[in-house]
Amino acid sequence: MAEIRIENLRKQFAEFVAVEDSSFTVADGEFLALLGPSGCGKTTTLRMIAGLELPTSGKIFLDGEDVTFNRASARDIAFVFQLFALYPHMNVRKNIGFPLLSQGVPKAEIKARVEETARLLQISHILDRSVFGLAGGDRQRVALGRAIVRRPKCFLMDEPLGTLDAEFREVMVHELRELHNRIHATTVYVTHDQHEAMAMADKIAVMNHGIIEQFGTPQEIYRRPASMYVADFIGSPPMNFLRFTSGLRKGARSVSVEGVEVALPEVHQEMGIGELALGVRPEHIRFNDSSALRGSVYGAEYLGTNQIVAVETGKGLLKARVSADRTFRIGETVGLELDSEKLSLFDCASGRAVKSSLYTEARHG
Amino acid sequence: MSTANSAHSVVEPSSTTKRIAGAIVILYAIVTMVPLAWIFLTSFKSPPDSISYPPKIVFQPTLEGYCNLFTTRTRQTPDYIQSLGAPTSTCDEITRNRNMVIAGPSNYWPRFQNSLIIAFGSTFLAVSLGTLAAYGFSRFKVPLADDLLFFILSTRMMPPIAVAIPIYLMYRQLGLSDTALGMILLYTAVNVSLAVWLLKGFIDEIPREYEEAAMIDGYTRLQAFRKVVLPQATTGIAATAIFCLIFAWNEYAFAVLLTSGSAQTAPPFIPTIIGEGGQDWPAVAAGTTIFLVPILVFTILLRKQLLRGITFGAVRK
């Protein structure tokens, strides 16, 4: 097992910059999710770590060793492909044993290790089946088996659950995390699904247009999004933005949102007059009729345990996640109270979060 | 796994459509099979039966055609034949009944061997070169790849025989005239363009992920090619090999022009049988029947690989 460190990695395809100046470290045994929409450069980053693509510039270190220009076969890593890439001319046993064969492991040991791996993944019963006609989940397990059988330095996974049914995906998310807890392999996992990333990863790197917008734990990314992009990408419904124009003073503890004074974590940054956005998660909005921030109910979405209520405030539509007990009428006037300890503030021009006491520990991508 | 496949027809053909389609297939099969069946039947006829009119469907089968194909014979007086004692083989007996004796083997077998060596040799070379070139074109950024592919294809845009005279002169200079090597090189050159184009299509169909997976699993690109790409390309390789083999096996024009003796193939030899002792159609038919066997066997042997093409790409698209 090993640490993966990438430094100023950049990849350009002709005119198109797929990955721009990326740097991060995945600690030994850590599970990193590269999260972002399609075309954001997450798969390209993964393929460069694997050695399937060469970077235009930058460096990749595996366990401290510079492997930037090493062949894929010399890096001792495993890769699980989105379409699994199970060799169709081999049965399950041969597929799993194939990486060991290249290392010249004796036949008896291959057999033992393949069977041990199959037990770990609970696929012993299909070892001698052809890979044709395997169910999606079993294909997934065979692909995982081929990855873990030789105990590589790290695992790279490219949207391995992307093609599974929704219900099965949840089972596999659980299984993958379980597997990670058992074997503690350094893992880089590419996905566009925030739930997968949140549920499995120790660290998440949110990518957009080839740039890492934020790198941090799922909690950091959810609670202290470093940019409006991250705030909008993570969470469902995403973070609400209340846009307003104002200047900022260092040490301020409130802002005036078009006449309404809103308390927030202490601002650590001086700013001239400009467009700002107050970021508030749906679950940090409460209904309080005495609040000065008012709006009319636009719609409500009942979810069983709670409901999402959309309120038109005149400064934008706010979606609040509140208890399902209260019934709202469309058009009803309500007062909204925001949980001031948890508010984020963004500079609309740069899209970045304004430094505040909430953000002091946050690392910006 | 996605089950949606827009290319699939949803409408099940009606039974009338099926019946008409079936009738067309059967009719086509008859049209193509009858000449072959006729050749096969003729090879077992006696020379008078083979030219009788109306043609005989029912006749007394004889091996005379095959005996005549493989032997050269000389006419002798009945007294001389009487003096020879008991015939040593069926062919000996058949030949004596025609007042002839076997003088020695004919050239059919050596010519047939030439055909085997030249056709299989050139097929092997064309398919090997074609597979490597197709893999290169499919997987690597080859400078001017499109122009090169067009150039390769353009070699087939004129009939090969159009360059027969330059090739004849060139071969005479190089000492390749009437040699098996010369014919193998020539047929390889003609077939390799077909092989590159056919195989490139097949290799393009094999997802790159398989090789990438193999390379990550610790194999070099060459090993990945051998262990992962080749086994999956067998369908395409088999189909290509059959096309190349059929061309090389049937080729007549160059064979007539460039081979006359030791490297002569069966196609230019078979017509020469007619001349030996009258219109010997059964011998020609026998030569043709035997000539058809290798292609038949080769196709039947590779049938499985050809059929596997149907399940090709079943690993999740």
Tell whether B13 is covered by a domain: no
Q: Do A51 and B315 touch (CB under 8 A)?
A: no
| Cβ–Cβ contact B1 with A under 8 A | yes
Q: Do B316 and A71 touch (CB under 8 A)?
A: no
Give the neighbor-by-neighbor strand order of the sheet with A154-158: A77-80, A154-158, A186-191, A31-35, A203-208, A211-216
Chain A closest-CA separation from residue B213 CA (Å) = 7
Residues of A in contact with B214 (CB under 8 A): 87, 98
Tell whether B192 is covered by a domain: yes
Residues of A in contact with B231 (CB under 8 A): 87, 89
**The domain spanning residue A251 has which CATH number?**
2.40.50.140
Of the residues B205, B209, B217, B230, the best mutation for testing chain A's interface (the one with the most A CB atoms within 10 Å of its CB) is B217
The predicted pLDDT at position A294 comes to 87
Q: What angle do CA A199, A200, A204 make, to 5 degrees?
A: 95
**The domain spanning residue A123 has which CATH number?**
3.40.50.300
Q: Do B232 and A50 touch (CB under 8 A)?
A: no
Of the residues A52, A80, A131, A156, the best mutation for testing chain B's interface (the one with the most B CB atoms within 10 Å of its CB) is A52
Tell whether A213 is covered by a domain: yes
Residues of B in contact with A84 (CB under 8 A): 315-316
Residues of B in contact with A99 (CB under 8 A): 217-218
Chain B closest-CA separation from residue A306 CA (Å) = 33
Tell whether B30 is covered by a domain: no
Phi/psi at B129 (nearest 5 deg)? -60, -40
Q: Do A85 and B1 touch (CB under 8 A)?
A: no
Of the residues B141, B216, B229, the best mutation for testing chain A's interface (the one with the most A CB atoms within 10 Å of its CB) is B216
The predicted pLDDT at position B28 comes to 95
Cβ atoms of B290 and B269 closer than 8 Å: no
Distance CA A149, CA A103 (A): 12
- Same-domain status, B162 and B292: yes
Q: Do B216 and A51 touch (CB under 8 A)?
A: yes
Instruction: Give me A99's structure tokens.
Output: 């990486």
pTM to 2 decimals?
0.77
Low-confidence ranges of chain A (pLDDT < 70): 1, 360-365
| Cβ–Cβ contact B226 with A under 8 A | no
Q: Do A139 and B231 touch (CB under 8 A)?
A: no
Cβ atoms of A21 and A57 closer than 8 Å: no
Cα dihedral angle (A103, A105, A109, A111), rounded to 10 degrees?
60
Low-confidence ranges of chain B (pLDDT < 70): 1-11, 275-277, 306-317
Range 186-215 of B in CB contact (< 8 A) with A:
207, 209-210, 212-215
- Same-domain status, A79 and A126: yes
The predicted pLDDT at position B227 comes to 92
Residues of B in contact with A73 (CB under 8 A): 215-220
Total structural domains within chain A: 2
Tell whether A365 is covered by a domain: no
| Cβ–Cβ contact B252 with A under 8 A | no
Domain that includes residue A216, residue range: 4-223
- Same-domain status, A214 and A265: no
Q: Do B231 and A89 touch (CB under 8 A)?
A: yes
Instruction: Give me A280's structure tokens.
Output: 């508030």
| Cβ–Cβ contact A50 with B under 8 A | yes
The predicted pLDDT at position B275 comes to 66
Q: Do B218 and A99 touch (CB under 8 A)?
A: yes
The predicted pLDDT at position B29 comes to 94
List residues bridging with A317 in a β-sheet: A312
Distance CA B188, CA B248 (A): 8
Residues of A in contact with B218 (CB under 8 A): 73, 76, 99, 102-103, 150
- Range B30-56 burial, b when 16+ CB lie within 10 A, else e: eeeeeeeeebebbbbbbbebbeeeeee
Distance CA A327, CA A345 (A): 31
Tell whether B23 is covered by a domain: no
Q: Do A87 and B216 touch (CB under 8 A)?
A: no
Residue ending a domain, among B89, B106, B123, is: B106
Total structural domains within chain B: 2
Residue ending a domain, among A195, A223, A251, is: A223
- Same-domain status, A352 and A217: no
Residues of B in contact with A50 (CB under 8 A): 212, 216
- Same-domain status, B71 and B118: no
Domain that includes residue B234, residue range: 109-311
- Same-domain status, A244 and A203: no
Tell whether B41 is covered by a domain: no
